[in-house]
Copies of this chain bind each other. A is one copy, B any other.
Amino acid sequence: MSILVDERTRVVVQGITGREGAFHTKQMLEYGTVVAAGVTPGKGGREVEGVPVFNTIKQAVEEEGVNVSCIFVPPPFAADAIIDSASAGLEVIVCITEGIPVLDMVKVASLLKNEKSVLIGPNCPGIISPGKTKVGIMPGPIHKPGPMAVISRSGTLTYEVVYQLTGTGLGQSTCIGIGGDPLIGTTFIDHLKRFKEDPETEGVVLIGEIGGTAEEEAADYIREEFNKPVIAFIAGQTAPPGRRMGHAGAIISGGQGKAEDKINALQAAGIRVALNLGTLGETVQKVMEKS
């Protein structure tokens, strides 16, 4: 009833001794996540919230059998942290860090082609399988277990959507923030494929925004291969071209990445696109009731 992370997940927090790392380690532990280790180079041997700190990912793997990492290290060191985790063979790498240089991500992407690790993010809220584990910074209590999957390029917008879903009684199997950067580890399609195989997921809410063509590609995939109801929302209909709207990846450039084109592509693929965020929860409820 979830993908990628669940009760089996043993998290290592990279940058655990930093302010954000420590805060969210506490939050994750409170949610019930097994945070088995932390890593901060040079601070091995300490503890944060009762979690042992190691100098390297390698040691955290050897000593604590961690299989998922959650990265809070500052942008100049984040690519190193991702590659470190990938080289150590972690299954899932969640990178919260915002502001990683694009050319660092070019390197990361090149390396990940040859590794089995799944990278969520960077510049994302993380991933949560409600009731099981939360790897990231989303507020836990707004979630509840259930049949809806959520895939989103955004953070708080996702919380808003989840809040509405939970409000209408629709719980979630897994919610993933794939990240707001132009180069991210996974696409909508990567996760749609996983949700397709997840028997407990009954429908998907896809939250896109301006910039790039990921939503258009997802629309093609859904039309051709996806067999569960999808409800989409696209943020940025009023965003002007050429400006980065907060997210590094949210920019209309060279005539590409407009909300309008995305909405058209999704609708042409037969996907219900909610235009009004205020009533998105109700819209999802209606679609799911029909199906």
Contacts and interface: CB of A to CB of B under 8 A. Distances in A.
Interface of A: 113-114
Decide if the interface of chain A is mainly helix, strand, loop or mixed: loop
Nearest to A113: B114
A86 to B, nearest CB: 14
A114 B111 CA distance: 10
A113 B110 CA distance: 11
3 contacts: A113-B113, A113-B114, A114-B114
A117 to B, nearest CB: 15
A196 to B, nearest CB: 25
Contacts of A113: 113-114
Nearest to A111: B110
A114 to B, nearest CB: 5
Contacts of A114: 113-114
A216 to B, nearest CB: 24
A113 B112 CA distance: 12
A136 B113 CA distance: 32
